[in-house]
């Protein structure tokens, strides 16, 4: 892995998703997927501090404010929170806090983590005079006119609060579940597009240029912080003071004297999650004492004194109204369920993947079944299991079609693949994959656009995308002048993508992003790759006989070789890249390893990097599937759990011996 390239790629992807989440209010990935990208970037930047930059997503939260709004500077900055996804990570947060403060136990304030839009509001002598969004944490958007439409936010304060020369408060604007359903029902009747979830509805409503639209939306706000104007000895005092002065505060909060009480409240809140009137995705845990907060300070864009303890994936019940199949780029038919629409994890879900025939049979999902649906980590939710107790006998097992639903060609009964040589669904899926973010990155080439280009006859082969012109695109329905220009610019820009992305974009079976990077590192150009022999391929680290066979079969097809030649002739050229050698042997390869405690000779981040360079996998939590647990000094909960499970323990010296026993070798055997 070239850290420079990977860091650049992660920053690009995170900036893109920040823009979709904060500016367009239309996210493409789940919060968990985003968090994992950000964690990887934070890890790499710690390992390679010379690659850190001021504009990195790790340096500031959110996204730049829109130009349509005035700008508001945040001082102090509006920081985002680090996340904890399980008990072990929460324990690590608590241990860090206690260690830094030299205390054995810390008192925390726990509040529900609402899924809305972070805002700052300012009062001058009790009069509400300004409202702004978080933006990138340092600079937000001036949305004062929209903030003034919030019904539960006082426009005038009295008493001690009204006497403050400047009182700056921070909070979260949201839409309650019932109001969200009414809003979408109204939009449906008017033929307007529905909001994906309450968070998007709240963000889109509050960031309208016409404040009258904001006033029509059922927006609410809960405040949780006093940024300027008055100081307090504790966070609990702060919340009570705001509440006593008529400011909207979430009444659901808990004072925990120790970590065990935090866990108890978390579990209680998790059980109440479905019955609460608003969406939330976890618990915010804050050190209560103001003095201790000041001692802890901040780390990058996150305060050291707070963490967001995320809830696990949400599961709900709904009805399978039908089961259909989609046709992928290799012709494989994949079953999916059409569901009675239901809210899952803050999004309205009407379809879910059933993965493949084996998984469908294993779970025994039938048309007419009531099922559990989960949405976690993946954009497309999945059906977990049928609720057998609710079966009436009218449920119908699904049978794969004998003909492709797209081109009516025969379906191979063994492989469940469409045999049609010119199947429109396959071509559409190939084109979508070719232009996807991690392939040729052609912005604007979404699934619907791919289908439109193919059904119109403008694209009959992948290479046709590079022959499109302005007049052709303008003739398509719902295609404006700016959209045409943007798409053509994105297509032209894609001609300069790296070789690894091009290899991945070709859609060779079993060749993912990592394998594509390895192939690019070894062969350096497409001609060498297309001429590669089985022996050459199988001697490459991490490419086995099966993957080698898929590569050989792909390039043995005349059409596939011709497509590469035509794409290169269309102007695709690859920038010069430098590739790094990779480990070819190590006793760490394939091992699942957990690091706990502090190491003397290296940081835990450095240890993780060295393990992963040698083919090992560093895991966040301890389970029975872990091979080794490396215990450093002051190891805590993870070490206790490892001992209870009887896992093999290593000390730092044993880890170093394993690291030193893995010599570097070139990617290709000489």
Distance CA 307, CA 87 (A): 13
Instruction: Give whole-number Cα distances, 69 to 7, 54, 65, in Å.
Output: 31, 24, 8
Q: How far is CA 475 from CA 6, 461, 484, in A?
A: 39, 20, 10
What SS3 state is found at 427? helix
Separation of alpha carbons 387 and 4, rounded Å:
49
Residue 137: CA atoms inside 13 Å, Cβ hemisphere, count? 17
- Dig out the tokens for 512 from the structure: 């993912």
3-state secondary structure of 340: strand
Report the C-alpha gap between 599 and 651 in whole angstroms. Answer: 9
Number of H helices, E strands in the chain: 25, 24
Question: Structure tokens of 408?
Answer: 């009516």
Query: Which residues make beta-bridge pairs with 633?
Result: 598
- Which residue out of 113, 430, 608, 638 is catalytically annotated? 113
Cα distances from 418 to residues 331, 333, 471, 543, 574, in angstroms, run 5, 7, 34, 27, 33
Tell me the torsion sign for CA atoms 631, 662, 9, 529: negative
Known catalytic membership, residue 460: no
β-pairing, 83-84 with 167-174? unpaired
By C-alpha distance, which of 492, 509, 512 is closest to 500? 512
Q: How does 385-406 read in b/e, with b if 16+ C-beta sit within 10 Å?
A: ebeeeeeeeebeebeeeeebeb
Kindly state the DSSP code that residue 49 receives in the 8-state scheme: G
Of the chain, the end-to-end C-alpha distance in Å amounts to 21
d(CA 149, CA 216): 9
Report the alpha-carbon distance of residue 360 to residue 355 in Å, rounded: 7
Q: How far apart are CA 629 and CA 616, in angstroms?
A: 12
Give the alpha-carbon dihedral of 200, 203, 209, 213, to 10 degrees: 70
Beta-carbon neighbour count of residue 586 at 10 Å?
20
Which secondary structure element, helix H or strand E, spans residue 40, and what is its range? helix 31-47
Whether the Cβ atoms of residue 490 and residue 443 lie closer than 8 Å to each other: yes
Per DSSP, the three-state class of 613 is: helix
Candidates 99, 94, 42, 38; CA nearest to 306 is 94
- CB atoms inside a 10 Å sphere around CB 500: 24
What are the DSSP calls for 545-599, one per residue? HHHHHHHHHHHHSHHHHHHHHHHHHTT--PPP------B---TTTT-EEEEESB-
Q: Which two tokens stand for residue 104?
A: 């054995």
Question: Active-site residues: which are they?
Answer: 113
């Amino acid at each position: 892995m070239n850290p420079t390239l990977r860091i650049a790629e992660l920053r690009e992807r995170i900036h893109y998703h920040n823009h979709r989440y904060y500016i367009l209010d239309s996210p493409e990935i789940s919060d968990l997927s985003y968090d994992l990208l950000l964690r990887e970037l934070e890890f790499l930047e710690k390992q390679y501090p010379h690659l850190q930059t001021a504009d990195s997503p790790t340096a500031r939260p959110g996204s730049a404010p829109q130009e349509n709004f005035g700008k508001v500077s945040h001082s102090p900055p509006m920081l985002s929170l680090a996340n904890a996804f399980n008990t072990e990570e929460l324990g690590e947060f608590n241990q860090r806090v206690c260690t830094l403060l030299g205390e054995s136990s810390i008192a925390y304030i726990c509040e529900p983590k609402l899924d809305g839009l972070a805002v700052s509001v300012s009062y001058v002598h009790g009069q509400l005079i300004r409202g702004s969004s978080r933006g990138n944490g340092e600079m937000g958007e001036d949305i004062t006119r929209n903030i003034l439409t919030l019904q539960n936010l006082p426009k005038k304060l009295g008493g001690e609060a009204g006497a403050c020369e400047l009182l700056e408060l921070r909070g979260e604007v949201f839409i309650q579940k019932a109001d969200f359903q009414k809003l979408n029902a109204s939009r449906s009747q008017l033929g307007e597009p529905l909001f994906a979830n309450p968070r998007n509805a709240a963000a889109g409503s509050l960031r309208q240029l016409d404040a009258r639209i904001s006033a029509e939306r059922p927006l609410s706000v809960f405040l949780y912080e006093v940024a300027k104007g008055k100081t307090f000895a504790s966070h609990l005092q702060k919340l009570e003071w705001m509440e006593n002065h008529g400011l909207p505060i979430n009444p659901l909060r808990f004072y925990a004297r120790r970590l065990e009480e935090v866990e108890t409240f978390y579990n209680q809140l998790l059980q109440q999650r479905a019955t609460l009137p608003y969406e939330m995705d976890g618990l915010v845990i804050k050190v209560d004492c103001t003095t201790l907060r000041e001692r802890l300070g901040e780390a990058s864009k996150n305060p050291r004194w707070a963490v967001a303890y995320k809830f696990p994936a949400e599961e709900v019940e709904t009805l399978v109204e039908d089961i259909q199949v989609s046709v992928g780029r290799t012709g494989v038919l994949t079953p999916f369920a059409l569901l009675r629409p239901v809210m899952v994890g803050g999004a309205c879900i009407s379809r879910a993947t059933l993965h493949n025939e084996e998984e469908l049979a294993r779970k025994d999902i039938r048309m007419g079944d009531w099922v559990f649906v989960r949405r976690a980590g993946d954009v497309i939710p999945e059906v977990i299991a049928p609720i057998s107790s609710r079966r009436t006998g009218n449920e119908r097992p699904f049978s794969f079609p004998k003909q492709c639903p797209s081109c009516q060609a025969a379906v191979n009964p063994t492989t469940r693949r469409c045999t049609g040589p010119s199947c429109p669904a396959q071509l559409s899926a190939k084109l979508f994959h070719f232009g996807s973010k991690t392939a040729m990155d052609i912005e604007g080439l979404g699934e619907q656009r791919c289908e439109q280009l193919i059904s119109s006859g403008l694209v009959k082969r992948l290479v046709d995308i590079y022959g499109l012109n302005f007049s052709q695109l303008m003739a398509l329905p719902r295609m404006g002048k700016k959209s045409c220009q943007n798409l053509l610019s994105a297509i032209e820009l894609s001609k300069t993508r790296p070789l690894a992305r091009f290899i991945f974009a070709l859609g060779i079976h079993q060749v993912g992003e990592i394998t594509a990077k390895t192939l690019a590192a070894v062969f350096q150009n497409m001609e060498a790759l297309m001429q590669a022999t089985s022996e050459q391929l199988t001697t490459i680290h991490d490419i086995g006989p099966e993957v080698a066979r898929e590569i050989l079969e792909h390039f043995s097809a005349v059409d596939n070789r011709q497509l590469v030649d035509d794409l290169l002739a269309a102007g695709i050229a690859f920038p010069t890249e430098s590739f790094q050698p990779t480990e070819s042997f190590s006793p760490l390869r394939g091992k699942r390893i957990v690091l706990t405690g502090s190491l003397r000779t290296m940081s835990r981040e450095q240890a993780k990097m060295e393990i992963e360079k040698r083919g090992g996998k560093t895991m966040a939590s301890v389970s029975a599937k872990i091979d080794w647990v490396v215990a450093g000094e002051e190891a805590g909960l993870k070490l206790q759990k490892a001992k209870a499970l009887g896992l093999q323990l290593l000390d730092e010296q044993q880890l170093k011996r394993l690291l030193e026993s893995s010599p570097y070798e070139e990617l290709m055997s000489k």
